[in-house]
């Protein structure tokens, strides 16, 4: 994969940079600027080599040009963090000649998500060189991630380079033992990752609502728990192929409803009574998982252990997050809710690598080619 070192002299050149600034915005205010901060090393490195920047980014899924999806607050926050003015350009045909310019939400433009060649050509006219630093969007073949990379000398930014090298390293040369922690709601969403780790990991720890198809496959009652019926057969196969490598919860925290004020109980075992739903792993499971994590050479974590956003059901995810943060080995967290949990518990700065790309990181681990990455090879 081509990197910034392959671009040569950038003094006076205009560099088109695809960044992942798809940040949460509420009432015009950014509530979490982590993704903007993650791109700063690349932006500063390019400016340090004398380049002028044109930034491409998306925000949300606009259907037209709804104002709530404007990148105006993103440009303002980027300006504050970079310490230079960042001008916002309305469209590819109206871009001012500044040191740092940000094009409006690329999903405002027809053809962006269809990898339209004409739109990619419009982007290409805005720069001499293209740098993709948007790992979170690299699994999409869009005009601003894939199409434009074929029209300009192109390379990976520092963030994208680190993401790819770290995640590919887990698959090709991990420090042993390799422990994969896989949680979340659906087995079908994670079956590709589970298959990848069945072949490579020493231990797989299962948590979250996705454990209930596993229990159903074993003949246990799941009560009113969220149990994806389509996930039962894949779960049965993972159990058969994984054997002792796959660890499931031994106890559960139950609630009457998905609500912070609901009645709760902790059960030993995994037989969920009617009228109750499993909403977290129990303390015995949390302790067992933490012991496995503490002995790991490499840990990959994607997906919470329960409904951590509700305090009565946060203990399992908190325990796993703390175990990952305290682990002596290499620790990689695959974005999404796992990243949100680390942030909630104040542990985001205590892992080796916190991925900025949820879907992209999973697809890379599954062995799928990412269009935005392949275009840079």
Confidence of residue 32 (pLDDT cuts 50, 70, 90): confident
Confidence of residue 339 (pLDDT cuts 50, 70, 90): confident
Q: Is it the case that residue 304 has pLDDT exceeding 80?
A: yes
Q: Is it the case that residue 335 has pLDDT exceeding 80?
A: no
What CA–CA distance (Å, rounded) separates 131 from 310? Answer: 40
Please tell me what DSSP assigns to residue 175.
Answer: P
Distance of CA 135 to the CA centre of its chain: 9
Q: Taking Cα atoms as reference points, which of 75, 325, 57, 337 lies closest to residue 184?
A: 337
Torsions phi, psi of 179, nearest 5? -115, 125
Q: Is it the case that residue 337 has pLDDT exceeding 90?
A: no
Please tell me what DSSP assigns to residue 174.
Answer: P
Catalytically active residues are 35, 186, 336, 359
User: Do you find a cis peptide bond into 7, omega within 30 degrees of 0?
Assistant: no
Tell me which H or E stretch contains 279: strand 277-281
Please tell me what DSSP assigns to residue 277.
Answer: E
Instruction: Note whether 242 and 204 are within 8 A (CB).
Output: yes
Domains 4-157 and 174-365 share a fold: yes
Q: For 271-287, what is the mean pLDDT? A: 98
Question: Mind listing the pLDDT tens digit for each residue in 172-188?
Answer: 999 999 999 999 989 99
pLDDT at 309: 94
- The DSSP bridge partners found for residue 204 are 180, 246
Question: Mind listing the pLDDT tens digit for each residue in 33-80?
Answer: 989 999 999 999 999 999 999 999 999 999 999 999 999 999 999 999
Q: Is it the case that residue 358 has pLDDT exceeding 90?
A: no
What CA–CA distance (Å, rounded) separates 334 from 357? Answer: 7
Distance of CA 12 to the CA centre of its chain: 34
Architecture of domain 4-157: 3-Layer(aba) Sandwich (3.40)
Residue ranges in the chain assigned as alpha helix (H): 34-48, 72-82, 117-124, 158-172, 187-200, 211-217, 232-242, 283-294, 315-326, 336-344, 358-365, 371-374
pLDDT at 173: 92
Q: Is it the case that residue 281 has pLDDT exceeding 80?
A: yes
Q: Is it the case that residue 106 has pLDDT exceeding 80?
A: yes
Instruction: Map out the domains of the chain as residue ranges.
Output: 4-157, 174-365
Please, which residues have CB within 8 angstroms of residue 180's CB and are 6 or more apart in sequence?
A: 193, 197, 201, 203, 204, 205, 299, 300, 301
DSSP 305-372: SS-TTSGGG-HHHHHHHHHHHH-SSEEEE-SHHHHHHHHHTT-GGGSSEE-S-HHHHHHHHTTPPPHH
Tokens 């949990």 belong to residue: 341
Other CB atoms within a 10 A radius of the CB of residue 31 amount to 9
Q: Is it the case that residue 290 has pLDDT exceeding 80?
A: yes
Confidence of residue 240 (pLDDT cuts 50, 70, 90): very high
What CA–CA distance (Å, rounded) separates 119 from 132? Answer: 17
Confidence of residue 89 (pLDDT cuts 50, 70, 90): very high
User: What are the angstrom distances between the C-alpha of 371 and each of 51, 148, 160, 188?
Assistant: 26, 12, 13, 22
Architecture of domain 174-365: 3-Layer(aba) Sandwich (3.40)
**Dihedral-angle region of residue 26 (phi above 0 means left; psi in -120 to 50 means alpha; beta otherwise):** beta
What CA–CA distance (Å, rounded) separates 56 from 74? Answer: 11
Q: Which tokens in the block code for residue 60?
A: 């949300």
Q: For 141-169, what is the mean pLDDT? A: 96
pLDDT at 356: 82
Confidence of residue 377 (pLDDT cuts 50, 70, 90): very high
What CA–CA distance (Å, rounded) separates 129 from 16? Answer: 6
Give the lowest-confidence range in 39-43, 82-86, 147-151, 166-170.
166-170
Confidence of residue 12 (pLDDT cuts 50, 70, 90): very high
Q: Which tokens in the block code for residue 79?
A: 């300006």
Instruction: Note whether 246 and 204 are within 8 A (CB).
Output: yes
* pTM listed for this prediction: 0.89
Mean pLDDT for the chain overall: 95
CA angle 203, 207, 212 (to 5 degrees): 115
Question: Mind listing the pLDDT tens digit for each residue in 189-199?
Answer: 899 999 999 99
pLDDT at 257: 97
Other CB atoms within a 10 A radius of the CB of residue 249 amount to 28
pLDDT at 251: 98
Q: Is it the case that residue 334 has pLDDT exceeding 90?
A: no
Q: What percent of the chain has pLDDT over 90?
A: 90
């Amino acid at each position: 994969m081509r990197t910034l070192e392959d671009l040569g002299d950038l003094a006076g050149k205009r560099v088109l940079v695809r960044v992942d600034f798809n940040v949460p915005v509420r009432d015009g205010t950014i509530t979490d600027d982590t993704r903007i901060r993650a791109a700063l090393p690349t932006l500063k490195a390019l400016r340090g080599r004398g380049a002028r920047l044109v930034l491409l980014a998306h925000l949300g899924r606009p259907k037209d040009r709804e104002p709530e999806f404007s990148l105006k607050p993103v440009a303002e926050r980027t300006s504050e963090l970079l310490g230079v003015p960042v001008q916002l350009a309305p469209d590819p045909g109206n871009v001012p000649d500044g040191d740092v310019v940000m094009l409006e939400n690329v999903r405002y433009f027809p053809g962006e998500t269809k990898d339209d060649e004409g739109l990619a050509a419009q982007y290409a006219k805005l720069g001499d060189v293209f740098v993709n630093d948007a790992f979170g969007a690299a699994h999409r073949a869009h005009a601003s991630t894939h199409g434009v990379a074929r029209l300009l000398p192109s390379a990976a930014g520092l963030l994208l380079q680190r993401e790819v090298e770290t995640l590919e390293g887990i698959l090709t040369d991990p420090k042993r033992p390799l422990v994969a922690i896989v949680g979340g709601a659906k087995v079908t969403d994670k079956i590709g990752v589970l298959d990848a780790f069945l072949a490579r990991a020493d231990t797989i720890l299962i948590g979250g609502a996705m454990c209930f198809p596993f229990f159903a496959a074993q003949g246990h009652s799941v009560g009113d728990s969220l149990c994806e019926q389509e996930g039962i057969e894949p779960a049965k196969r993972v159990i058969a192929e994984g054997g002792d490598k796959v660890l499931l919860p031994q106890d559960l925290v139950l609630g009457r409803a998905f609500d912070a004020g609901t009645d709760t109980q902790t059960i030993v075992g995994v037989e969920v009574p009617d009228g109750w739903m499993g909403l977290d792993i129990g303390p015995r499971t949390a302790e067992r998982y933490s012991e496995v994590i503490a002995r790991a050479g490499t840990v990959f974590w994607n997906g919470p252990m329960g409904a951590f956003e509700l305090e009565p059901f946060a203990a399992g995810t908190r325990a796993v997050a703390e175990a990952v943060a305290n682990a002596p080995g290499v620790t990689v967290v695959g974005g999404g809710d796992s990243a949100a949990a680390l942030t909630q518990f104040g542990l985001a700065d205590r892992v080796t690598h916190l991925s900025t790309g949820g879907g992209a990181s999973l697809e890379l681990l599954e062995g799928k080619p990412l269009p935005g990455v392949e275009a840079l090879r």
